[in-house]
Amino acid sequence: MVIRGLSDPETVEAIACKEGLALASDLMVQHFRLASDNVNVIRGIKEDGMAVHGHIIREIKARAALFSTADFVHENRCSNVDAHTIAMSAIYAEFGRLVWLLSPPQGVCNSYNFVDE
């Protein structure tokens, strides 16, 4: 999702988590794990915290209750290479939502080693 004029990283990450829940709902997923490299957003989802983005966190919690299993985890940025690549490529993208279900943008999903069994 490309958002212009919003520069607070925690608010942007909270919106990204909310959008992840919306996508999981659209895909009719019942069990999911959402990972973020922003420890404060994950802490806010797991605990009762009110920050600038508290209203977004409340919406995330309400939507998460609709799933059979919703797990929110913090991952270090070094394990989040593809998300960073997508974010950097969006600097020049048009405003709005961009979704890739089958063919990700160039340079994304290259950090995984798939092994044929």
Asked if residue 113 belongs to a domain, the reply is no
Each residue's pLDDT, cut to its tens digit, for the chain (117 residues) gives 677 777 788 898 899 899 999 989 998 999 989 988 889 999 999 987 667 788 999 999 999 999 999 999 998 877 767 666 766 666 666 777 766 666 666 666 655 554 444
Q: Which helix (H) or strand (E) holds 31?
A: strand 31-36
Interatomic CA distance for residues 44 and 48, integer angstroms = 6
Asked if residue 105 belongs to a domain, the reply is no
Asked if residue 98 belongs to a domain, the reply is no
Number of domains in the chain: 1
Asked if residue 67 belongs to a domain, the reply is yes
What pTM value is reported for the model? Answer: 0.73
Asked if residue 2 belongs to a domain, the reply is no
Asked if residue 36 belongs to a domain, the reply is yes
Asked if residue 54 belongs to a domain, the reply is yes
Interatomic CA distance for residues 61 and 38, integer angstroms = 17
